[in-house]
Each structure stands twice: as C-alpha cells, then as structure tokens.
Chain A
C-alpha cells in the first residue's frame, strides 16, 4: 500500500512530474555526452599499449631524428621491434577534410600494432605495393573509399601532389581503437623528399619501439635517451601512454571547463528535483500528518518521499541514458574525425546511474526531514 501511494503520488501532477523527468533526462543526456567527449579526448591514452615506447627529438616534436638511430636503438637490451614514421599533415581535396596521416615503415609498424585487424590478402598487397596505403574503416567509409581506389593527398608540410592506392582497410580489435588513421610507406615518402629537398631526407619524426616486457619499459626508455646524450639530436623517450597524455594535457583547460560544466549540470538538476519534491511535500504535509495519526512511522514517511524522489529521477535517468546512445552517434557523425573514437563507455553509464541516485536521494532529504519532524498537530492544522 505504501508503494501504491508512492507511485500514485509521483504521478499526481502529471505535468509537473513530466517536466521534472524531462529535465532529468536532458541533464543526464548532457552529462553522459560530456563524459563521452572527455573519454574521446583520452581515447589515445586508453588505446596505448604498455609495451610501446615513443622516441622523439627532445627539443620538440617538429624537430626530427636521423634514420641512423634505428640500428642503435635496436641493439639496446629488451628492445624487440623498432618502427618509425613521420607526421605527414595531409588532407584530402579540401583542408577541412582533416584526419591523421603518417608515413611509416609498414612491416615493423603493423607488427607493433596488432590491434589493427587487416584481412590477410590486403595486408600482403599493402606491404608489397610501395604506393599503397592502409586506412581505418571509419575513415574509408566517410569518404566512400574502396580497395583499389586512387587517393591523392595534399600536405601542408610537403609540397606536391601525393598519389596513393588504397590497398588495405583495417578495423580495430577493440572499440577503443582509432579507425580514422591513414598510413603509407615511409620508403615512398623518403624518396619524394630526396627529390624535392634532399637535406631533409633520411630523417624520421618519431620512433615506435616495442619492448619485450612492459616492466622494462621505463628502464629501456632511459637507456635509449642516455645513448643519444650529447649527440646532434638528443632524444626524449616515453611510454606511449605518457606521450598521448602529453597531447591531452595541451587541452587541459578545455577539459577542466567541460568537467566544471558537467558538475554544474548535476547541481542544476539537483535543484530542479529538490524544488519539485519540496513543492509536492509541502502540499501534502497534511496527508503525511494523517498517516502519522493513523500510526505510520517516520520511516514510512521517509520511504514515501525518498522513494518518490528516487522513482522520478530514475525514470528521467533511464530516458536520459537511452537517449545518450543515439545522441552520441549523431554527435560523432557531426564532428567527423575530430574525435576518432567516440563511444559511450560502461563507466559513463555507471556514472549516470550514480549521479541519478545521488540526485534522487539528496533531493528527497530536505522534504523528508520536514515531513518527519513536523508535529502531527501542526501538520493536521495545515489544510492542503
């Protein structure tokens, strides 16, 4: 019967309850999307492997390292694979068609990134064909590229028209894998550079190093950097995770702003629900007094009010969570490759649930306290 009263009370003011539920749904949706945006920012960090190191020029990313370092790095203990590449900075047709593209040494690179699933025949033809390129599924889909297509990119850094043939499309083994990348042969890249500006040739933007065991990563990174101390180009080696975090930290203030907005949303929704509950309980204070007169305890009243508050927020929360998935898909589509990985994670859903419950309980506390502490005779005098 208590539950019956609770549920019927929740829907007594249909308009008020619907508006509150809408408010909660929108807030939870916004909260979930903002969380997903933050996750998208950290996608590179999430996807990094503990056994991969990135070596770059210690001065800055735009300075390069000699190709000759490759052999020296390979000879260091615990190093299993060495690959390398250059940021190409290319775009397709129009500058606004932005996506990440790299010239990489393909054999070693593919070995280092087993999370890229490439069909066997495509892998072989990509490795064989020096003009071949390998792209992520999401990227290929967004431009409608098919295997065998000729693709030309224009680079902001390297002049000329660069022609490629699409040889392979990879998919991620997990959802966290970026499927918007574009890779081509470093060999081809270096030859073109040799022709246009020979002094820049035989330089790489970064090395990717596979270590035999993640436990050795830190030590190996130190050994590499020590090996190139006082040389012409000193190196900075860090784990892939640290490297990616470095990128994220560049946008730290934006992320902080987003987190602040998320928090503000929660506070607003708390106020909205609390207001609804305070209003409802004030109108019914006389009814709660009647229940107490009939012998119902403060605990019963608390169940009635907190339960109603939690019921309303839970419905709103559920609507919000369900709306998050299509909204995230639309959002992801709208921003294109800006957030290569844009998935609503389990953690986000869990946080949605926690926030919903916290709001539901907190919003009910004040009215519960009022309704349970008011003296029966005072409550009865308030004619609803």
Chain B
C-alpha cells in the first residue's frame, strides 16, 4: 500500500432531503479522496450526514450534485438498476443492526449475495466457507440469526460483506449495538481485513474506540468535512 491509488474520489457532492415542502441540506460541496487499502473513519455528531455520505459512496442513494467515482466508475450517472448490479460486485455492507435475514441460516445469509453472481453451486459453497473461516464462525454456520449473539451475528454479516470480494467495505456504526468485548472482536476482525487482505474500509462511527482503529479520521459537522485535529494513526 505504498503507491497511493485513489479508489474513491468524491468531488463537490451536495445532498438535500425533502420533508414535505421543507428542504433539508445535509451535505454541502463535499470533496474527499480515499486510497486503495485505506481504512477511513467518518465521525461527527448525530445527524451530521455521516450515513448519508456513506450511502452515497455505496450507491444506495443518489447525490443532487457532484461526482462520485469508485474504482474508476462515475456512479452518479448510473441508473437505479445499473447501480444495483454495480453494488453486487463492488460494495460490501456492514450495518449497525447486522441486518441478517432471520429465516436464513448463517451459511445461507453469507451465500445470499452470491446467488446473483454466475458462480456454480460448488464455487459458491467454497466462497462461503472461506468467508466464514475468515470471520471464524464456521462452527455456527447452520444457526439462525436468532440463535447467535450480537457479536456473532455481526461476524456473519461481515462474512456476507466480504464473500463477493468487493472493491470497498462500508460499515455504518458496526459496533453501535455491541458490548465492549464483542465490539473489540469485530474491530480486530476489521483490522485484519484491512491489514492482511488489503480491504478498503470506510466506517461511520461515533465510538472513539472504533475511530482509533482507522488510519484516517474525517470529521463531518453541519454538512462540512474536515480532517481530525489529533491524527490517530494506528
């Protein structure tokens, strides 16, 4: 990771929400570059637009203005169905509440994103096993989410996020619902994904412990992005 190769570049992005006839500005002319292999934390007070920015990068929502390039593709010009297809192979999602499908086992949850790929059944199984091994939860693979602890569910969710080998991993408050020990476990796992597997990670958090793990911390406040005053390289 010595050569700095931009993987995400955001240029003058503006985003507003409409509530009734009221227009709520959330992001104003945001610009940001994230390099390949980076581990970036977006921090800031609640309601400052962290999730909104993350969703824009992940192609879940569309910006009003500006350009967002991920892996060399301008995703702001993609249609909704193109974005949907783009997400399958480019973005791995980790949510605060894990968001596993309750009627599927851990194994099936991890397999889910692969259904949309053109891998054979056998290849899919291999990928799922690999991902489960990375997060170290193979022994629980036939459990349903309700039979797992929060930390275990989040590890399954991380397996689901990495199983497609995406360009970027995005995580919105991944430790927000976990106790200290489970949170540390999940953060260790994310460290490993970044360090050993070279994954580019963008994490939204207001947990200082989580922030400390990142290489770069950006502060978002009232729609404006700034560098963290005290640099927290790990």
B60 touches A294 (CB 8 A): no
Name the contact of A293 in the complex, choosing from B60, B97, B103 (C-beta under 8 A). Answer: B60
Against B, the Cβ 8 Å flags (1 = close, 0 = not) of A1-20 are 11011001100100000000
**Chain A residues near B52 (CB, 8 Å)?**
377
Q: How many interface residues does A have (CB within 8 Å)? A: 22
26 CB < 8 A contacts A-B: A1-B104, A1-B115, A2-B115, A4-B103, A4-B104, A4-B108, A5-B101, A5-B104, A287-B99, A290-B101, A292-B84, A293-B93, A294-B88, A294-B93, A294-B112, A294-B113, A294-B160, A295-B84, A295-B87, A295-B88, A295-B113, A375-B61, A376-B61, A377-B61, A380-B95, A380-B99
Question: Which residues of chain B come closer than 8 Å to A286, judged between CB atoms?
Answer: 99
Which residues of A lie under 8 Å from residue B160 when comparing CB positions? 294
- Within 235-262 of A, Cβ neighbours of B (below 8 Å) are at none
Q: Across the A-B interface, give the 7 residue pairs with the lowest CB-CB distance, nearest first.
A: A295-B88, A8-B103, A290-B99, A294-B113, A376-B60, A377-B61, A1-B115
By size class, the interface of chain B is 20 to 34
A333 adjacent to chain B (CB < 8 Å): no
Interface SS, B side: helix
Whether a CB of chain B sits under 8 angstroms from the CB of A383 is yes
B111 at the interface (CB under 8 A from A): yes
A: which residues have CB within 8 A of B?
Answer: 1-2, 4-5, 8-9, 12, 286-287, 290-297, 375-377, 380, 383
Residue of A nearest to B97 (CB): A383
B residues neighboring A (CB under 8 Å): 52, 55, 60-61, 81, 84-85, 87-88, 93, 95, 97, 99, 101-104, 108, 111-113, 115-116, 160
Q: Is the CB of B61 within 8 A of A294?
A: no
Interface pair A293/B87, CB less than 8 Å apart: yes
Q: How far is the CA of A321 from the CA of B61 in the complex (A)?
A: 48
- Report Cα–Cα, A380/B101, bound state, in Å: 13
Q: 20 new A-B pairs (CB below 8 Å) besides A287-B99, A294-B88, A380-B60?
A: A1-B115, A2-B115, A4-B108, A5-B101, A5-B104, A8-B103, A8-B104, A287-B101, A287-B102, A291-B112, A293-B93, A294-B87, A294-B112, A294-B160, A295-B84, A295-B113, A295-B116, A297-B81, A377-B55, A377-B61
